[in-house]
């Protein structure tokens, strides 16, 4: 029997981000309700745990990876393996709050579509930015989130919990995945993350930015298959 696979999307993202992965893995489910509007990482993790299987493989993308680490900290025995994609484990950096609030204020002032159009293109690799169908799909996904969800998730990210203890305690197979052109969460940043985790492997997806699961879904799905094939130390 295949392991249950749970996917946690990032800022303004929903199951649409992982359409190709959900189609390829029948045992997979993605959180599709923006964490019920939660405005803390801790509340997001509790929301996920409330409906999660007893044991499961876990993929977190961007903000979702931070939720995944909080979930592992709360229920380590329920997670059989972990994939962290296009993310960070650092605290809030100088200027980050100002940058995030500038986007928030743009949405309040000029409309949420203007916020999305300012935020989304820099998140993508060069090829994706000129892929009209992909851009339209990702833009529509972000617009589904809306201003209130963006603001709640922004507050969650600006008050995110420390991850040091969770990283040090990880004992399951861990894959750290990043798009080669991710300018928000760089390859070097992911190299540092992988170095801090026992049994972690780093994978760089060529021709992809921060939205690597949607930009290069076949490559992303191949990495998932390889990761799911790694033996765990305890029965799944």
- CA–CA distance, 111 with 147 (Å, rounded to integer): 8
What sign does the dihedral 175-180-183-186 (CA atoms) show?
A: positive
What count of residues does the chain have?
A: 236
Q: pTM for this structure?
A: 0.97
pLDDT per residue as tens digits for the range 101-130: 999 999 999 999 999 999 999 999 999 999
Asked if pLDDT for residue 2 goes beyond 80, the answer is: no
pLDDT per residue as tens digits for the range 19-37: 999 999 999 999 999 999 9
- CA–CA distance, 130 with 195 (Å, rounded to integer): 34
Asked if pLDDT for residue 235 goes beyond 50, the answer is: no
**Whole-number pLDDT of residue 233:** 66
pLDDT per residue as tens digits for the range 152-189: 999 999 999 999 999 998 999 999 999 999 999 999 99
Q: What is the mean pLDDT of residues 201-226?
A: 98
- CA–CA distance, 123 with 87 (Å, rounded to integer): 12
């Amino acid at each position: 029997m295949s392991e249950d696979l749970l996917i946690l999307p990032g800022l303004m993202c929903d199951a649409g981000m992982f359409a190709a992965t959900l189609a390829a893995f029948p045992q997979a489910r993605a959180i599709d309700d923006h964490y019920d509007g939660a405005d803390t990482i801790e509340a997001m993790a509790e929301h996920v745990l409330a409906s999660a299987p007893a044991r499961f493989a876990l993929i977190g993308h961007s903000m979702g990876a931070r939720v995944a680490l909080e979930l592992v900290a709360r229920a380590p025995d329920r997670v059989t393996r972990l994939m962290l994609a296009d993310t960070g484990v650092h605290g809030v950096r100088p200027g980050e709050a100002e940058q995030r609030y500038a986007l928030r204020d743009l949405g309040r002032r000029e409309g949420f579509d203007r916020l999305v159009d300012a935020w989304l293109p820099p998140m993508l690799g060069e090829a994706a930015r000129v892929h009209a169908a992909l851009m339209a799909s990702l833009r529509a996904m972000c617009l589904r989130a809306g201003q209130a969800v963006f603001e709640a998730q922004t507050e969650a990210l600006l008050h995110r919990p420390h991850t040091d203890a969770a990283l040090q305690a990880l004992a399951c197979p861990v894959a750290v995945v990043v798009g080669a052109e991710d300018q928000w969460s760089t390859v070097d940043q992911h190299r540092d993350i992988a170095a801090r985790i026992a049994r972690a492997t780093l994978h760089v997806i060529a021709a992809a930015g921060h939205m690597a699961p949607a930009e290069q879904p076949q490559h992303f799905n191949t990495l998932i298959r390889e990761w799911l094939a790694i033996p765990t130390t305890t029965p799944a």
